[in-house]
Amino acid sequence: MATEKTGLVPDVFERAAFVRTMAIELVDYGDGWCETSQRVLPGHRQQHGFAHAGVVMTIADHTCGGAATSVVRNDQDVITVENKTSFLRPAAGDVLHARATVLRAGKSLIFVEAEVTVERGDERVLAAKTSSTLAVIPRAR
Amino acid sequence: MATEKTGLVPDVFERAAFVRTMAIELVDYGDGWCETSQRVLPGHRQQHGFAHAGVVMTIADHTCGGAATSVVRNDQDVITVENKTSFLRPAAGDVLHARATVLRAGKSLIFVEAEVTVERGDERVLAAKTSSTLAVIPRAR
Amino acid sequence: MATEKTGLVPDVFERAAFVRTMAIELVDYGDGWCETSQRVLPGHRQQHGFAHAGVVMTIADHTCGGAATSVVRNDQDVITVENKTSFLRPAAGDVLHARATVLRAGKSLIFVEAEVTVERGDERVLAAKTSSTLAVIPRAR
Amino acid sequence: MATEKTGLVPDVFERAAFVRTMAIELVDYGDGWCETSQRVLPGHRQQHGFAHAGVVMTIADHTCGGAATSVVRNDQDVITVENKTSFLRPAAGDVLHARATVLRAGKSLIFVEAEVTVERGDERVLAAKTSSTLAVIPRAR
């Protein structure tokens, strides 16, 4: 059930145009975590036929933003300070899933990590792992 | 002038569907470097109206790929191992420019960094800095 | 019980002079993981009295090296390609513990992550999280 | 010549015990930059005879701290949020040099990068490149 805090999470997905452009869907969220998924379309692939690194980093980053948003006050917002993503395996498949978890929520900085998996048949294979820092900022009216 | 090696660079841009989706343009390149640019469209923005972190990381990553491609043999290709991007300022503006430079080209790994600037009036403001490792792989036929 | 592979792990600790200088101890290890600990001495601290970031990164890096070594053949060795460490909390305490886990072991690259905790009274507090890439190299005779 | 701000830089080196333990020397500094050097002693090496990654990350981190300190007010201090270091070449040699440069100094976060070179005969070879974020904190009395 959404709390005062976690109630801000859907908003972060609805108001971000690029997230709608990429058709990233908010799957579930709670206090300190967020899950998303996305169809990998032909226009999302790179020269080897896999999801482009930029596609993988986009879903990872925004899911980290969702998780960080779930732990701030409702007059606060978050913005990405830095994102490091390791590409463990080619994102070969048609659906990406991301799950982000808050490692540490400070007053001004939130440390989050995320896993991006790709559906291959019945299983989900770990394609990428992200480590990210976000800053807490005042929420614009 | 394109050498045998640098002749592969345009190919990396033409064959990557997501780069065409994002309308990232190859501006110039040489031995160990690559420059690109991109219009920031309404559908590329996040909730604060700036270019989404995923958009910035996509142009940074692909420009790093272009620079790395310029230093491999023509039977070789490159793939991103990891990408760390620091967001120095909001990417507030309508045009992004990226310039990537090879720091070190080994036999199997290439270290590249990139700067992403955003046009604000007559100047270009540094919005992000990327540090990335790419692996050299055999080129698929 | 040590296998052919994991039998190389103690060697990585015995032959590294800086690890002995820092008095980092190998606590335990297995297939794909490694645990270490270290007393934080007065000479290891920074200006605020906490373990220096360099001390934290050193134990994190070497423990990642131990975990990566546990998954290579006995004619192979590993070397750090890159290390990213996030400092979640000040390393305020007298004993550091590190645990590294292999996320993905490829033929030429191994992705590892590590947690560094610090003893505070009876508990261990998460002080830092590391994401690292290591390269597999031939073992020198 | 030291300004009010840059006057804090030597203090960061004198008060950090681990920096003295490692015999890292402050060479020079100015508004937004810092240079250091260090002899690589036998006790600083890893199993292949090179300076340990932890040694390289320590001088890189502290030099980034020096550069960041040069741009804060004299009632402020800095602390490392995250450090990513890429190891471009083995640090094979007897003297390390580091130079850190501030990329962007915000009110609460400072982005810095550093190069670590190693002396080989008459030249200095680039061994590592660091990208780091530091937070501005109040200076303790």
pLDDT at D29 over 80: yes
Give the tokens for residue B66. 């272009």
* Predicted local confidence at residue D7, as pLDDT: 79
D105 SS3 class = strand
How confident is the prediction for chain D on average, in pLDDT? 95
The better pLDDT of the pair B128, A7 is held by: B128
* Predicted local confidence at residue C7, as pLDDT: 79
Domain assignment of residue D129, yes or no: yes
Residue C129 burial (10 A CB sphere; 0-12, 13-18, 19+)? buried
From the list D88, D126, D131, the residue facing B129 with the nearest CB is D131
Domain assignment of residue D83, yes or no: yes
Report CB contact under 8 Å: D108, A133. no
Give the tokens for residue C2. 């040590």
What is the ipTM metric for this complex?
A: 0.95
How confident is the prediction for chain B on average, in pLDDT? 95
pLDDT at C75 over 50: yes
Domain assignment of residue C1, yes or no: no
Domain assignment of residue B64, yes or no: yes
pLDDT at A1 over 70: no
A108 touches chain D (CB under 8 A): yes
Kindly report the CATH number assigned to the domain that includes residue D92.
Answer: 3.10.129.10
A38-42, B3-7, B13-17, D114-118: least confident range: B3-7
Query: Which residues are within 8 A (CB) of D122 and not within 5 positions of it... i.e. 6 or more apart?
Result: none
D133 touches chain A (CB under 8 A): yes
Residues C62, C72 contacting (CB under 8 angstroms): no
Q: Which secondary-structure segment (H or E) carries D64?
A: helix D53-69
**Burial track B59-83 (b if 16+ CB lie within 10 A, e otherwise):** bbbbbbbbbbbbbbeeeebbbbbbb
Domain assignment of residue A102, yes or no: yes
pLDDT at C43 over 60: yes
A60-69, C2-11, D65-74: least confident range: C2-11
* Predicted local confidence at residue C1, as pLDDT: 46
d(CA D31, CA D68): 9
**Percent of chain C residues topping a pLDDT of 90:** 91
Report CB contact under 8 Å: C133, A86. yes
Q: Which residue has the tokens 């990164």?
A: C57
d(CA C36, CA C62): 9
* Predicted local confidence at residue D1, as pLDDT: 46
Residues A113, C136 contacting (CB under 8 angstroms): no
- Chain B residues whose CB is inside 8 A of the C135 CB are 108-109
Residues C107, C84 contacting (CB under 8 angstroms): no
How many structural domains comprise chain D?
Answer: 1
d(CA A57, CA A66): 14
- DSSP for A48-73, please give it: TSSBPHHHHHHHHHHHHHHHHHTTS-
Adjacent-strand bridge partners of C34 = C29, C100
Predicted confidence (pLDDT) per residue in A33-82, tens digit: 999 999 999 999 998 999 999 999 999 999 999 999 999 999 999 999 99
Residues C50, C92 contacting (CB under 8 angstroms): yes
pLDDT bin (cut points 50, 70, 90) of residue B5 is: low
For B55, other C-beta atoms within 10 Å of its C-beta total 27
Query: Which residues are within 8 A (CB) of B69 and not within 5 positions of it... i.e. 6 or more apart?
Result: B8, B9, B12, B34, B77, B78
For A40, other C-beta atoms within 10 Å of its C-beta total 24
From the list A58, A77, A84, the residue facing B52 with the nearest CB is A58
d(CA A104, CA A71): 10
* Predicted local confidence at residue A118, as pLDDT: 98
Residues D63, D34 contacting (CB under 8 angstroms): yes
Rounded mean pLDDT, C35-57: 96
pLDDT bin (cut points 50, 70, 90) of residue D5 is: low
Rounded mean pLDDT, A103-130: 97
**Terminal Cα distance for chain D, rounded:** 25
Domain containing residue D12: 6-138
pLDDT at B31 over 70: yes
Predicted confidence (pLDDT) per residue in B42-55, tens digit: 999 998 899 999 99
DSSP code of residue C51: B
D46 touches chain C (CB under 8 A): yes
B100 touches chain A (CB under 8 A): no
Q: How distant is the alpha carbon of residue B29 from its chain centre?
A: 11
Instruction: State the helix-helix crossing angle for C53-69 and D53-69, rounded to 10 degrees.
Output: 150
d(CA B3, CA A5): 56
pLDDT at A132 over 50: yes
Domain assignment of residue A1, yes or no: no
Give the chain A residue whose CA is nearest to the CA of D132: A82
d(CA B41, CA A22): 13
Chain D interface mutation, best of C52, C86, C137, highest count of D Cβ atoms under 10 Å? C52
From the list C43, C48, C61, the residue facing D54 with the nearest CB is C61
d(CA B42, CA A21): 10
> Subunits that touch chain A (at least 3 Cβ pairs < 8 angstroms)?
B, C, D
d(CA D53, CA B99): 29
- Chain A residues whose CB is inside 8 A of the B15 CB are 47
DSSP code of residue A44: G
Domain assignment of residue B29, yes or no: yes
Rounded mean pLDDT, B115-136: 97
Q: Which long-range contacts (CB under 8 A, 24 or more apart) does B2-6 make?
A: B3/B31, B4/B74, B5/B31, B5/B70, B5/B71, B5/B72, B5/B73, B5/B74, B6/B30, B6/B31, B6/B70
Report CB contact under 8 Å: B111, D126. no
A18-27, B3-12, B14-23, B64-73: least confident range: B3-12
pLDDT at C77 over 70: yes
pLDDT at C5 over 70: no
Predicted confidence (pLDDT) per residue in D111-139, tens digit: 999 999 999 999 999 999 999 999 999 99
